[in-house]
Structure 1
Amino acid sequence: MTSSNLSIEQLASFYLSGIPGYEDVQHFIPIPFCVFYLIGIGGNCTVLHIIHTDKSLHEPMYCFLAMLSLTDMGMSISTLPTVLRIFWFDAKEIEMNTCIAQMYFIHTFSLMESAVLLAMAFDRCVAISDPLRYSSKLIPQCVVCIGVFIIIRCSTVLPVVLVRIPTFSFCDSHVLSHSCLHQDVILLACSDISFSVLYGLFVVAFYWGVASLGIFLSYAFILHSVLRIASRGGKLKALSTCVSHICAMLILYVPMIGLSLVHRFAKHSSSIIHITMAEPVSSTGSQLNYL
């Protein structure tokens, strides 16, 4: 058996380090994480229940909000089991296939979240720029098609690189700092990872980059339309319909940018800072490290 095959065979699993230096209190660390996760899941379930039961909310804006809640719950559920296994059961070993599956769901839901935010921005743009034809443009069938397109677009891009991971040889450390993320795993490989890195850049640019640009352009059109409204009350009313979307973007992008800055400019800071910030945003902030 060659050394390359040996290294692949030996790597049946990865190891998650948790938070180094805090082993004595590791059984208490997941309590705040669980509280945050439960608050997030409970809040999203409440949003879904209200939208489902209140027929007056069966409009495109609230349908997109429901999609956003589902993707957010998907990201939370993808990472919570790993957090509990590490801290409460000291089960730091994770099999490669399980790691790849978790990686797929974390990144896929992350891409879906950005796509739904773009759809919400487009919805607000149409509602404010062309309110008279809003109902005729964003009909229920159109909303369903947008949702299906988001699912297909975001769920089919990752297998191209994920199927390559079992073929890599890992001859150095097998330890990951937190949840299984593509960029962290391939950095442990001693094989040629140039394709994975370039493909990661493509995904970030084509998905997150396009979504961010689309949101920016949508709000440029929104502001242009709002400034054309004569009354001050009309301007405030139009802008107030964007508050929920703006809050959703801030909740996603502020931690993401903060984590990216910490990785970029505070690499030698305490590990608890990196891991605490990484868990809530999962893969989102770390993806920017490719840029």
Structure 2
Amino acid sequence: MSDSNTTDFTNPSTFILLGIPGLEAAHVWISIPFCTIYIIAMLGNFTILLIVKMESSLHVPMYYFLCMLAVADLVLSTSTLPKMLSIFWFNSREIDFSACLTQMYLIHCVSVMESGIFVAMALDRYVAICDPLRHSTILTSPVVAKMGLAIVLRGGMLVLPYPFLVRRWPYCRTNIIPHTYCEHMAIANLACADIRVSSYYGLFLAFFLSSLDVFFIALSYTQILRAIFSIPTKDTRLKTFGTCGSHLCVILGSYIPALFSFLTHRFGHNVPLHFHILKANMYLLVPPMLNPIIYGVRTKQIRDRLLRLFIIKGPKVFS
């Protein structure tokens, strides 16, 4: 029989999420920008989906991929923010073991999917600019649907080992996670087992897969830039490049914080823990908020359709 000072966590029923250790007194204040970010992300991404659904001229591959990105952002935000806010507002730190694994799976799965969506969007821009006459015959609706399915299956299958590995490990030390959500390595570090397989697999996904996706995106944009600079008139060059600007902004806004968060988490051992966690939160929360704003501001078709909604509704209010 075990003594009173030891607890067996071999099969923990719950984990305890601490939030942001060291900043507990500021949790309520931190929740204000987090909640604002969540509301903007929800409104922005639902608006993108609504506009694309209502505007038949937007039923083309570029906006189908944008809708996929909006759905992924909604899933990513909703799988993390509500629990974070319950920690900040109500000190509700417990999370069921299965719920924790589900949250972990969704976070990493959707992140891999979003990387695949960026590759698909780069391919769409490449065909649209480098081979515009064949765009509608190359990227047909069935082809786009198959690409979407491949992106979803790739994310789902590649991240599947995470919950299986985490579930089979013994937890004999503690069930306390010093984080605001169930991140893979944060859980793995609690295990009383050799986690090298999981750590190496995480490194493989982060570096090899991301590097592969970035390589294809860079290859596409190299060809796109060559095609743009071969256009004789400056105005046409700027207009053509403008169609890619929003996509490039979204890519940079997603990959750079993700890479920085990953590197500081694994190699920044002298960085304060609360900085690690805040950076990890920004990586998950800010891109879903910025993506619809970037596309809404920089994409003329979406901007015009949104303005028409308000212009049409405006006179009815005062009639």
TM-score normalised over the length of structure 1 = 0.89
- Classify 1:193/1:272 alpha carbon distance in 2 versus 1 (closer, same or farther; 3 Å): closer
Unpaired runs of 5+ residues, structure 2, are 288-319
1:50 lines up with 2:51 in the alignment = yes
Q: CA deviation at 1:132?
A: 1.2
Distance 1:283 1:172 in 2: 31
CA distance in 2, matches of 1:19, 1:161: 24
Structure 1: distance between partners of 2:164 and 2:76: 21
Aligned counterpart, 2:248: 246
Distance (Å, rounded) in 2 between the aligned partners of 1:192 and 1:264: 17
Contact 1:262-1:274 at 8 Å conserved across structures: yes
- Counterparts of 1:161 and 1:284, CA distance in 2: 24
- Identity percentage of aligned residues: 39
Give the equivalent residue in structure 2 for 1:112.
Answer: 113
Alpha-carbon shift at residue 261 of structure 1 (Å): 5.1
Which segment is superposed worse, 61-70 or 190-199?
A: 190-199
Distance 1:2 1:218, change over 3 A: farther
Q: How far has the Cα of 1:35 moved from its partner?
A: 0.4
Which stretch has the larger CA shift, 264-273 or 198-207? Answer: 264-273
Q: Deviations over 1:194-224 (max 9, x none)?
A: 2212222332244322211111111111112
Structure 1: runs of 5+ lacking an equivalent: 286-291
1:133 counterpart = 2:134? yes
How far did 1:284 drift? 11
Q: Which position in structure 1 is the counterpart of 2:257? A: 255
Superposed CA deviations along residues 4-34 of structure 1, whole A, max 9, x for unmatched, are x94403x322221112233334233212101
**2:146 equivalent in structure 1:** 145
Asked if structure 2 preserves the Cα contact closer than 8 Å seen for 1:8 and 1:166, the reply is no
Q: What is the match of residue 171 of structure 1?
A: 172
Q: Specify whether residues 194 and 259 from structure 1 end up closer, same or farther in structure 2 by C-alpha distance, changes over 3 A only.
A: closer
* RMSD of equivalent CA atoms: 2.5
Cα deviations across residues 241-276 of structure 1 (Å, max 9, x unaligned)?
Answer: 101201211221232234245446754444443322
Q: Which has the higher contact order (CA 8 A, sep 6+)?
A: 2
For 2:250, the aligned partner's letter is: A
Cα distance, 1:204–1:283 mapped onto 2, change above 3 Å: farther
1:102-160 Cα shifts (integer Å, max 9, x gaps): 00111111111110011000100111111111111111111111111111111122222
Larger Rg: 2
1:92-241 equivalent positions in 2, closer than 5 A: 92-176=93-177, 177-241=179-243
Aligned residues: 283
| TM-score, normalised with respect to structure 2 | 0.81
Matched residue, 2:317: none
CA distance in 1, matches of 2:2, 2:159: 29
Q: Distance in 2 between matches of 1:6 and 1:188?
A: 13
